[in-house]
């Protein structure tokens, strides 16, 4: 399927939440991550336009103070992120 869009983008944002709001308000299409859009797709509030297109891989970083002891909550969150990304096939 091929299509052309006349003109440039009407909205640009570096926030997925902002792009989601624009799309929900009828201001155009947005490339959104599954974790943000899936519930709205299931509810029929968003529609998948290009089902074969995949969101580009992105890095995720955990920043915390360089101390001897990493707080247990921080360590648990980092471990959760590592497990989640590895389960999704990312390294």
Residues 50 and 12 grouped into a single domain: yes
Predicted TM-score of the model (pTM): 0.58
Task: Please tell me the predicted confidence (pLDDT) of residue 42.
Answer: 97
DSSP, residue by residue, 61-88: -------SS--HHHHHHHHHHHHHHHHT
Domain total in the chain: 2
DSSP, residue by residue, 2-14: -----S--S---S
Give pLDDT tens digits for 10-54: 778 889 999 999 999 988 888 888 889 999 999 999 999 888 887
Residue 26 domain boundaries: 8-55
Class of residue 31 by CB neighbours under 10 A (exposed 0-12, middle 13-18, buried 19+): middle
Distance (Å, rounded) from C-alpha 46 to C-alpha 61? 29
Residues 66 and 42 grouped into a single domain: no
Residues 74 and 47 grouped into a single domain: no
Distance (Å, rounded) from C-alpha 40 to C-alpha 45? 5
Query: Predicted confidence band at 91 (pLDDT cuts at 50, 70, 90)?
Result: low
């Amino acid at each position: 399927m091929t299509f052309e869009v006349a003109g440039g983008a009407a909205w640009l944002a570096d926030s997925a939440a902002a792009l989601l709001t624009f799309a929900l308000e009828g201001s155009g299409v947005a490339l959104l991550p599954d974790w943000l859009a899936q519930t709205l797709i299931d509810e029929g509030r968003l529609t998948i336009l290009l089902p074969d297109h995949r969101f580009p891989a992105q890095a995720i970083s955990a920043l915390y103070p360089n101390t001897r002891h990493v707080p247990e909550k921080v360590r648990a969150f980092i471990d959760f992120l590592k497990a989640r990304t590895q389960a999704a096939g990312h390294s």
